[in-house]
């Protein structure tokens, strides 16, 4: 299991800046040498995007164009950030900060908290689910385990989309979210959760971003200090940026444009968390002078796998589909994808396990095989089937490698041997690094032959065996490596969460598999109701399910097995059918109505800086400030009022009540909740502003163009003191 591309584990550091560019294809080289101004890299699956951007940073550093400490590279997972740091280290570009958004924000918040706020920073809670449970209990609301998880997800979505509790119900309805409880009830739970955090003086991960945004907006001296530190920004997986993360990125940048973003709209699969590809798709509009490089040369997958991937997107609809990339495989031909139908899910799992056993017996490493499914609940059936077939496996998304008890104990033992090895009888007769590591780990449960069967004993052995294999790799790359060097390598990997390969078949959800690849992939459960999932109803939700399958297909390098079951359990009614996404792609089927034409090819589009007609100007957003005291506003509710909650209000109470009465009539006639007409905050803002015409009314936050058309005349009439408007509307 590796990410992005094959490469030696410990490659030689390039001896010059030009050597960093060796081996890059023309488009990757364009990325690596475009070091100034805004750059947008549209990178298809398997096209080497991580290679391109790490070589870009390394080339800039090695050529003396970029100072390592002035570069901030951000991505979305600790694993991806760790991999990026590892690659930069191998390219001779130490000192570059590669972090997740949350890690970078937390580092800044901790540093500036005493100066910006004073006192000790609140404790950061790792998991908010217990706080949500306590908030529900305080309200007398009973939530089962699934509801608790779903409500927590709604709170997280609200915060990254900058939605306050009062606006949750409207925002959720507008976004078409499937809510686990009544929206008003979730809004109360959200508000209670926020109150509980304040009472306990704790913050959550979303607060880290929100508070950093607030500090940078309020304290221009601190913002200037951060911008003085970081001059150059690189954002990976840009299609997954949330509105809150984009807001933070804008504050980091200020009025500069030394920004490189990398993404693929066709791999947007996290919209349920607030991620949106709009920032990627609108990049040229925001940055007219941007250079756009399209990477379409697929080095990962065979032409047969790539043909299926392209076929999936050829039938897609929507804005992301309009910007799809047509991949071109750079590999030799391989076998066609295999499609298999089973009578029930246990038979499907047994069939996959049987084929995997045959592949392993034929010499395919277990670590180069994956079973991918739509939901985590499907895992158990495949765990049992693989155990019955005597196939070792590992669960992706389970306990992190360096957090496993056996790895912690092994690390202590190896560290002790490195420090006091001269007095350890285990090391008396061994001299080379692999032998030393094997000798130390033999005392922790490692044996030359693996234990029989699977289960916990086998999993512990596999973990220790991964350390033994890593020692062999280090010794081959650095013949003089010592046990102390090996311990230092482990420490570096632990900090980066860059785990060595564990020899076992990977079981993972499609979401957890993103960014990874294997020689052989089994895509299971590809049936209607599972892909697309039952609760995907809107066009946008269906298209995200298609992209999820696309991500699964593009994880395979050489062999791809696609399967589905006609019923859930043996003897069940065979009422299921293969996923609609396979229509026209698997043998004997015809395509459903979809798109025509081909996607975009690779190449470079130069920016048009200086040409006002070439593209819309980038919108420079100024901070919202309180119209009473002038303080920068960060709370969405305060931004609607254009004043601090505590500042004196000049609201016309009578006008506010007339607006509320009118709203109640409108909501009753349309069968909608009151907030779907206007929220209380918007009505308060109207009653304070007392607009006299449409232009003034449209400037009030919350009065969108659609609502201006529907309700503008009525609201202006009420503000002008006309009576009876609420009764006459719609008659």
Binding residues for ATP: 43-50
Beta-sheet pairing, 123-124 with 338-344: unpaired
At 567, give phi and psi (nearest 5°).
-145, 165
Contacts 24+ apart (CB under 8 A), 531-538: 531/374, 531/579, 531/581, 532/579, 532/580, 532/581, 533/374, 533/375, 535/178, 538/176
120 DSSP 8-state letter = P
Give the residue from 689, 197, 464 showing the smallest Cα distance to 698. Answer: 689
The closest of 6, 26, 21, 23 to 602, measured between CA atoms, is: 26
- 3-state SS, residue 287: coil
Which ranges of 390-447 does DSSP label H, i.e. alpha helix?
Answer: 405-420, 433-442
Residues 402, 408, 413, CA angle at the centre, nearest 5°?
135
CA distances, 710 to each of 343, 408, 666, 707, 716 (Å): 54, 63, 11, 5, 12
> Across-strand partners of 505?
393
Cis peptide before 333 (omega within 30 of 0): no
Distance, CA of 532 to CA of 546 (rounded, Å): 7
In 3-state terms, what secondary structure has residue 343? strand
Q: What is the dihedral of CA 424, 427, 431, 434, to 10 degrees?
A: -120
Q: Which residues participate in the annotated binding site?
A: 43-50
Residue 485's nearest CA partner among 493, 476, 474 is 474
Rounded to the nearest 5°, which phi and psi values hold at 107? Answer: -60, -45
Q: Which residues contact 412 (CB under 8 A, 6 or more apart)?
A: none
Least Cα distance to 373 among 559, 178, 273, 512 occurs for 512
Q: Tell me if residue 483 falls in helix, strand or coil.
A: helix
């Amino acid at each position: 299991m590796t990410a992005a591309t094959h490469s030696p584990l410990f490659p030689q550091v390039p001896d010059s800046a030009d050597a960093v560019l060796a081996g890059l294809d023309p488009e990757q080289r364009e990325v690596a040498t475009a070091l100034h101004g805004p750059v947008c890299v549209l990178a298809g699956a398997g096209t080497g995007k991580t290679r391109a951007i790490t070589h870009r940073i390394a080339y800039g550093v090695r050529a003396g164009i970029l100072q390592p400490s002035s570069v901030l590279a951000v991505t979305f997972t600790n694993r991806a950030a760790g991999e990026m740091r590892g690659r930069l280290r191998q390219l001779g570009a130490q000192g570059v900060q590669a972090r997740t958004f949350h890690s970078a924000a937390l580092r800044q918040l901790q540093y500036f908290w005493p100066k910006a706020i004073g006192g000790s920073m609140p404790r950061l809670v790792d998991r908010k689910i217990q706080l949500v449970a306590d908030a529900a209990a305080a309200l007398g609301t009973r939530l089962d385990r699934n509801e608790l998880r779903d409500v927590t997800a709604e709170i997280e979505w609200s915060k990254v989309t900058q939605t306050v509790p009062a606006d949750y119900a409207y925002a959720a309805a507008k976004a078409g979210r499937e809510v686990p409880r009544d929206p008003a009830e979730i809004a109360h739970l959200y508000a209670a959760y926020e109150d509980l955090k304040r009472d306990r003086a704790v913050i959550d991960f979303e607060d880290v971003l929100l508070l950093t945004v607030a500090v940078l907006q309020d304290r221009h001296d601190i913002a200037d200090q951060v911008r003085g530190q970081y001059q150059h920004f690189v954002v990976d997986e840009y299609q997954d940026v949330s509105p809150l993360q984009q807001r933070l990125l804008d504050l980091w940048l200020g009025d500069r444009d030394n920004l490189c973003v990398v993404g693929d709209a066709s791999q947007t699969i996290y919209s349920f968390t607030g991620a949106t590809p709009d920032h990627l798709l609108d990049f040229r509009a925001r940055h007219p002078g941007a250079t756009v490089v399209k990477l379409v040369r697929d080095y990962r997958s065979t032409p047969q796998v790539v043909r299926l991937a392209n076929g999936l997107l050829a039938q897609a609809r929507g804005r992301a589909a309009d910007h799809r990339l047509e991949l071109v495989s750079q590999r030799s031909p391989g076998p066609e994808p295999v499609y298999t139908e089973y009578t029930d899910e246990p038979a499907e799992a047994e069939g996959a396990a049987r084929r995997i056993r045959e592949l392993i017996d034929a010499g395919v490493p277990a670590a180069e095989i994956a079973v991918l499914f739509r939901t985590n609940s499907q895992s158990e059936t495949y765990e049992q089937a693989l155990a019955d077939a005597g196939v070792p496996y590992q669960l992706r998304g389970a306990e992190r490698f360096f957090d496993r008890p056996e790895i912690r104990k092994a690390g202590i033992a190896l560290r002790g041997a490195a420090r006091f090895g001269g007095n350890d009888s285990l090391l008396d007769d061994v001299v080379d690094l692999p032998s030393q590591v094997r000798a130390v780990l033999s005392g922790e449960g490692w044996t030359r032959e693996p234990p029989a069967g699977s289960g916990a004993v086998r999993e512990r052995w596999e973990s220790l065996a991964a350390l033994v294999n890593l020692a062999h790799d280090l010794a081959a790359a650095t013949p003089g490596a010592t046990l102390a060097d090996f311990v230092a390598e482990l420490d570096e990997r632990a900090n980066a969460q860059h785990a060595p390969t564990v020899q076992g078949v990977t079981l993972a959800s499609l979401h957890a598999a993103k960014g990874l690849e294997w020689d052989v992939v089994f895509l299971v459960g590809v049936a209607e109701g599972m892909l697309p999932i039952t609760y995907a109803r809107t066009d946008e939700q269906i298209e995200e399910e298609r992209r999820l399958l696309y991500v699964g297909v593009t994880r395979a390098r050489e062999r791809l097995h696609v399967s589905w079951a006609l019923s859930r359990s043996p003897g069940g009614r065979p009422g299921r059918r293969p996923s609609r996404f396979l229509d026209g792609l698997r043998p004997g089927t015809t395509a459903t109505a979809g798109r025509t034409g081909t996607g975009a090819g690779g190449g470079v589009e130069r920016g048009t800086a200086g040409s006002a007609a070439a593209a819309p100007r980038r919108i420079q957003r100024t901070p919202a400030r309180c119209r009473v005291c002038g303080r920068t506003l960060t709370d969405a509710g305060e931004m609607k009022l254009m004043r601090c909650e505590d500042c004196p209000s000049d609201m016309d109470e009578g006008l506010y009540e007339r607006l509320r009465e009118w709203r109640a009539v409108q909501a009753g006639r349309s069968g909608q909740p009151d907030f779907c007409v206007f929220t209380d905050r918007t009505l308060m803002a109207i009653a304070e502003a007392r607009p006299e015409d449409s232009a003034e009314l449209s400037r009030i936050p919350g009065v969108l163009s659609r609502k201006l058309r529907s309700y503008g005349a009525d609201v202006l009439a009420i503000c002008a003191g006309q009576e009876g408007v609420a009764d006459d509307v719609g008659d």
